[in-house]
């Protein structure tokens, strides 16, 4: 067992860290303040091959693999969490199209995603179906050589800026059957609804999508008929490792601000870093984030080797998102009043990280996944 990164992985880490620290971090506060979509950051990511990390070069990707991808995502999240979530969903959608798509689907969409011509979006959640993904009510009805999609999807990341959205819809009422469909931007009957106003990740595009008899050809189906839920859940397995990485990146950035502050801030005649209460907060947070990182590496390595990793991805997601939330709270505490105001980034980190225990399956759902896999 060797805990060092290979030379190649170190290069990915250094490149993405430089990009995040030099280009993304300086703008992150303003992106948050103005709820501005970080289009320029997405362009830079595509130039460096960071939007197609999970499919091969023949489709425009960089095929860096899950471990490299999670390292890059973590570093990007440390600079700008809103950028990281756009990057994450675009990579996730690209991978799903590569894995389940036909040659025609791959050639049509993958170069667009990797080339930054538009983001990828993944539309599963609905107003009436979140954790209960099988309970969706959007339908896809056959109409000659096409499907007509009708329904609404909520909270869709990249919903307004995607060049392609994977949409899960019911193709049959009973027995329930769900399909996955590739819906391009501008498809007739696809309406981008309101942009959500959020606690954090304010620069990310989170939109409602409405389908009014949205017509897509039969060739838009991803995978086989009835495979939609399976495709969605397996796609989310990989996505969950990514959420864990985002949480670690955000929390590390917060902890780094807090440790610097603790060294510089004097009270009672000395640096607050000299107080055991502060030292313990820093030590606990750093230890938990390292443990989270090891869980991420394990899950990503299993995925890279083509071995089952559903349980390990859920463990990484719960642990990293919950430890990351604790670390961000502690960072605010260490900065005292300065932690609560916008002069320092830790209040933004706290707002940005909260959703990591919610999206792509809440912590409660991750616990269900883990316990089911252990008790079945």
Ligand X SMILES: Cc1cc2nc3c(=O)[nH]c(=O)nc-3n(C[C@H](O)[C@H](O)[C@H](O)COP(=O)(O)OP(=O)(O)OC[C@H]3O[C@@H](n4cnc5c(N)ncnc54)[C@H](O)[C@@H]3O)c2cc1C
> Does residue 7 carry a catalytic annotation?
no
**What φ, ψ does residue 309 adopt, rounded to 5°?**
-145, 15
Exactly one of 195, 234, 362, 373 binds ligand X (CB under 6 A); that residue is 362
Q: Give yes or no for residue 267 binding ligand X (CB under 6 A).
A: no
Which residue of this chain has its Cβ atom nearest to ligand X in the complex? 130
Exactly one of 59, 122, 147, 309 binds ligand X (CB under 6 A); that residue is 122
**CA dihedral for 44, 46, 49, 50, sign (positive or negative):** positive
Q: Which of 75, 208, 312, 360 is catalytic?
A: 360
Exactly one of 88, 89, 292, 335 binds ligand X (CB under 6 A); that residue is 89
The rounded distance, in Å, linking the Cα atoms of 360 and 136 is 15
Query: 104, 85 in Cβ contact below 8 A?
Result: no
Contacts of 220 (CB under 8 A, 6+ apart): 147, 181, 182, 183
With contacts defined by CB under 6 A, name the span among 25-33, 125-133, 249-257, 333-341 that binds ligand X.
Answer: 125-133
Q: Give yes or no for residue 360 binding ligand X (CB under 6 A).
A: yes
Residue 70 three-state SS = helix
Could you tell me whether strands 270-271 and 221-222 are parallel, antiparallel, or unpaired per DSSP bridges? Answer: unpaired
What number of other Cβ atoms are within 10 A of residue 197's Cβ?
8
Q: Which is nearer to ligand X, 35 or 102 (CB)?
A: 35
Nearest distance in Å: CB 82, ligand X = 10
Exactly one of 59, 69, 155, 261 binds ligand X (CB under 6 A); that residue is 155
How far is the CA of 104 from the CAs of 59, 110, 190, 304, in angstroms?
Answer: 11, 10, 22, 25
Cα-Cα-Cα-Cα torsion 199, 74, 194, 191, nearest 10 degrees, comes to -170
Compute how many residues bind ligand X; rule: CB under 6 A: 22
Q: Give yes or no for residue 131 binding ligand X (CB under 6 A).
A: yes
What mask of x and - would describe binding to ligand X in positions 186 to 225, judged by CB under 6 A? ------------x--x----x-------------------
The rounded distance, in Å, linking the Cα atoms of 239 and 313 is 9
Let me know if 341 is exposed, middle or buried by CB neighbors in 10 A (0-12, 13-18, 19+): exposed
Q: Which is nearer to ligand X, 209 or 251 (CB)?
A: 209
Q: Which is nearer to ligand X, 198 or 326 (CB)?
A: 198
Q: Which is nearer to ligand X, 190 or 355 (CB)?
A: 355
Catalytic residues: 360
Residues near ligand X (CB under 6 A) are 89, 122-125, 130-131, 155-157, 198, 201, 206, 355, 358-362, 364-365, 368
């Amino acid at each position: 067992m060797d805990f060092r990164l290979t030379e190649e992985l170190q290069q990915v880490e250094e490149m993405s860290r430089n990009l995040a620290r030099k280009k993304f971090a300086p703008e992150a506060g303003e992106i948050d303040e103005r709820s501005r979509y970080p289009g320029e950051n997405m362009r830079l990511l595509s130039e460096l091959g960071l939007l197609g990390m999970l499919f091969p070069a023949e489709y425009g990707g960089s095929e860096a693999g899950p471990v490299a991808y999670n390292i890059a995502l973590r570093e990007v999240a440390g600079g700008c969490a809103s950028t990281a979530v756009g990057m994450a969903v675009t990579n996730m959608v690209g991978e799903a199209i590569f894995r389940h798509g036909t040659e025609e689907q791959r050639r049509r969409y993958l170069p667009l995603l990797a080339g930054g011509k538009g983001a990828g979006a993944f539309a599963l959640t609905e107003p009436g179906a979140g954790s209960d993904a099988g309970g969706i009510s959007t339908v896809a009805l056959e109409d000659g050589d096409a499907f007509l999609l009708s329904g609404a999807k909520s909270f869709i990341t990249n919903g307004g800026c995607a060049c392609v959205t994977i949409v899960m819809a019911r193709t049959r009422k009973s027995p329930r059957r769900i399909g996955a469909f590739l819906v391009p931007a501008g498809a007739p009957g696809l309406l981008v609804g309101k942009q959500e106003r959020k606690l954090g990740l304010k620069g990310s595009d989170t939109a409602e999508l409405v389908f009014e008899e949205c017509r897509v050809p039969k060739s838009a189906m991803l995978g086989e008929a009835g495979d939609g839920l399976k495709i969605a859940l397996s796609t989310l397995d990989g996505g969950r490792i990514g959420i864990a990485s985002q949480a670690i990146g955000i929390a590390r950035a917060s902890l780094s601000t807090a440790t610097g502050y603790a060294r510089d801030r004097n009270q009672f005649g000395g640096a607050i870093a000299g107080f055991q209460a502060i030292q313990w907060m820093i030590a606990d947070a750093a230890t938990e984030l390292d443990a989270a990182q090891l869980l991420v590496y394990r899950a990503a390595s299993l995925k890279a080797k083509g071995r089952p990793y559903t349980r390990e991805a859920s463990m990484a997601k719960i642990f990293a998102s919950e430890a990351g939330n604790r670390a961000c709270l502690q960072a605010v505490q260490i900065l005292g009043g300065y932690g609560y105001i916008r002069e320092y980034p830790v209040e933004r980190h706290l707002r940005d990280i909260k959703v990591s225990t919610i999206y792509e399956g809440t912590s409660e759902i991750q616990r269900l996944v883990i316990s089911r896999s252990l008790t079945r």
